[in-house]
Structures are given as C-alpha cells and as structure tokens.
Amino acid sequence: MIVALIAGAVAGAGVLLFLLVVAPPRTQPGSALARLDVRRSELRARAQTIAADPNRAPEAAWVRTLGRSASDVLARAGVELGQLRSDLAVVGRTLESHLATSVVGAVLGFLVPVVVATLAVIVGAPVSLAAPLGVSLLAALVGAGLPSIVVRGQARTRRRDFRHVVGSFLDLVAMSLAGGRGVPEALQSASELSDGWGMVRIRNALGSARLHGRTPWSALGMLGEELRIDELRDLAAALALVAEDGAKVRDSLSARAGSLRRRELAESEGKAGESSQAMLVAQLLLCLGFLIFLLYPAVEAVFTGV
C-alpha cells in the first residue's frame, strides 16, 4: 500500500511538471516587474552580505536554483516574507539559501517516516497507512519551519548586539561633531573606527548613499527599515530634522546614546532577574524532591500500617 502510494505521488508530480512545461501559466506584467524588484533587492542584500563577511563560502549552484524557484513560487502566490527577509538580512544569509534549506528539510522530513514504514512493511511488521502519513506531514512541517525558527532567534540576538553598536556609533559621531566636523564627515569617520559586522553594515550603507547621491541619514533610515531596527530609523529622522545645526545634532546624539545605554542596562537587569527567578524555581523543585524523599517512608508506613 505504501509503495503504491509513493509511486502514485511520483507519477502525479511528473504529470504536474509535464503540464507546467507544456502549458506554463501566463505571466502578468505587474507581477513580473514586482519579481524583478524583489530580485534586485535580493542581489543587493547578497552583495552587502559578501562585503560584510568576505570569508563566507559561496553557495552551491543547486542551492541558488532551488531557492530561486521557491522564491518565485512564493512571489507568484503573493507571499512577501517581510519579517523573514529582515531576519535573514540581520543574520547575513540570502533568501535563496534559506528557502533551499527549508525545502530540503521538508522533503527529508516527509520521506524519512515513509522510508522507515516501507522497510517495516518489507520485513513483515504490521504498519497502518494513517500513522506514517501523519508522521510524515508533521515531520515535513517541522523540517520546513525549523530553519525559520533558528533564524528568528539568531536575528533577535544580533539585533540586540546591533543596538549596542548604534549606541557606540552615536557617541563616536558626537565626539567627531565636537571636534568641528560636519555631519556627513562625522558619520563616515565614526563608521570607519571598527570592523564589526554592525559597523560594516553602517559603513557600507553610508558609502552606497554617497555613490548614489543620497543623504547619509536617508541611508541609515533605509538600513533601519531593511533590518527593522527602530534605533536607526529614529536616528535618521532626528538627523533629517537638525542636520543644519551642529550643536543640536551633538546634543541629540548624546541624549540618544545615553537613552540606549539605559535601555540596555534595564534589559540586562531584567534578564538577570529572570535568571534569578529560574534558579529559585529550580532550587524549590530540588527541595520539594528532597522532602518527598524524606517523607515517603513515613507516609508509606502510615498507610500500610507497618
């Protein structure tokens, strides 16, 4: 039964692929232009990723092909993946490699239970049809969603580190402004004082703005929109308002740097409190287990009458 089901699924996939090749769906001009814009943004994100980490190993050709096909399917379906794109931009991975990993994980998650059930049927073990299919679907969902969950956790950590970088960057810009430099020169010189991944992203954004004739604060705002970091967007808005007055810019940046440090301190204290509470719960559970260990012989003697 399972072998016949697998054969039918393979035959159905072949028929569907044949129909898509013979009669491909009609492409709408608007959707085609939207896909071109998405493709251009992905290429720009990949270039920034390579610039931020030049030692990263290049992706295999089949990974790019599979990821691009999955991205095109999602684009035609109207799935934007805005949050996932931002998380991948923060982590430094391309959407193609992530989608390829998700597809491979889903396929492996679906096939492993089916193969195990097939081997069990071959050796003569009684296996029902519903159990392997249910486990396969569940494993496919887990295999497809697990990479996104991992990326979400990594992006949360890197965003917290990036906020710390933004606070240091504001202090450096304020010191450069106090030395008599203008706002664009202060931003560029402050971004060149470190080679951390966050400062490299800021430096690349400022360099791209200079080449394209945009203002530095608009580049910071675009970077904040791409990475979904509110501090960069607020900084861009503040610089756009007071860019002509050096004293106001310096005071505003110093105040924002202090606010970021206080926020980081509050978050660190909150995490320390959560860790303390977790340790307290663990100690209470340990004490409860020890009390049960001490009281169990007496309770057993009372109920058994010994």
Better-predicted residue by pLDDT, 111 or 127: 111
Check residue 246 and give its pLDDT: 52
Q: How far apart are CA 261 and CA 125, in angstroms?
A: 63
Check residue 243 and give its pLDDT: 62
What residues contact residue 232 under an 8 Å CB cut-off, 6+ apart? 166, 220, 221, 223, 224
Q: Mean pLDDT, the chain, as a whole number? A: 78
Of these ranges, 20-24, 54-58, 178-182, the one predicted with the greatest mean pLDDT is 178-182
Check residue 49 and give its pLDDT: 57
Q: Where does residue 92 fall: left (phi above 0), alpha (psi -120 to 50 degrees), or beta otherwise? A: left
- Amino acid of residue 138: L
DSSP string, 62-87: HHHHHHHHHHHHHHHTT---HHHHHH
Which tokens sit at 93? 């991975």
Question: Which string of b and e fits 52-91 if b means at least 16 CB within 10 Å?
Answer: beeeeeeeeeebbebbbebbeeebeeeeebeebbbbbbbb
pLDDT greater than 60 at residue 56: no
125, HSE (Cβ side, Cα atoms, 13 Å): 8
Q: What is the pLDDT of residues 27-45, one digit of tens each?
A: 666 556 656 666 666 666 5
The answer to whether the beta carbons of residues 252 and 242 sit under 8 Å apart is yes
Which tokens sit at 83? 């949050």
Check residue 247 and give its pLDDT: 55
Average pLDDT over residues 53-64: 64
pLDDT greater than 80 at residue 76: no
Check residue 220 and give its pLDDT: 87
Average pLDDT over residues 10-38: 65
Q: What is the pLDDT of residues 240-276, one digit of tens each?
A: 776 655 556 777 777 777 777 787 788 777 878 888 8
Q: How far apart are CA 245 and CA 235, in angstroms?
A: 15
Average pLDDT over residues 165-177: 83
Average pLDDT over residues 267-289: 84
pLDDT greater than 70 at residue 90: yes
Torsion (CA) 267, 273, 278, 280 in degrees, nearest 10: 180
Please report which confidence band the pLDDT of residue 149 belongs to, taking 50, 70 and 90 as the band edges.
very high
- Amino acid of residue 295: L
